[in-house]
Amino acid sequence: MQKTSAETIPFNARITPEQKDLIQRAASALGLTMTDFVFQAARERAIATIEQQSVLRLTLADVEKFQAAIENPPMPSAEVLAAFERAPRATLR
């Protein structure tokens, strides 16, 4: 898509006549153009979707397991200990 200005770019979509009528009716009810209505609705849905995907939801059992793992971490495996031994040491200055 070619940029038409510093602030906006074109966005095209094909919809059925029924979808157009429905959107036009809703937009008119709010005193908005179809374009403003569609972009406002899409923006709100995008924000909600991103927020929902950004939240970690745990059951009480999951929280208890997580807390137990933090409070009583397992011993590192032999592989982890060997990797630690091979890792270069940081020098403290």
* HEC readout, the chain: CCCCCCCCCCCCCCCCHHHHHHHHHHHHHHCCCHHHHHHHHHHHHHHHHHHHHHCCCCCHHHHHHHHHHHHCCCCCCHHHHHHHHHCCCCCCC
Residue 5 counted as domain residue: no
pLDDT digits (tens, 9 = 90+) for 75-90: 999 999 999 888 887 6
* Position 2 confidence tier, pLDDT thresholds 50, 70, 90: low
Residue 9 counted as domain residue: no
Q: How many structural domains does the chain have?
A: 1
Residue 2 counted as domain residue: no
Q: Range of 50's domain? A: 17-86
Stretch 49-71: mean pLDDT: 94
Instruction: Tell me the pTM.
Output: 0.56
* Residue 5 scores a pLDDT above 70: no
* Position 66 confidence tier, pLDDT thresholds 50, 70, 90: very high
pLDDT digits (tens, 9 = 90+) for 22-57: 999 999 999 999 999 999 999 999 999 999 999 888
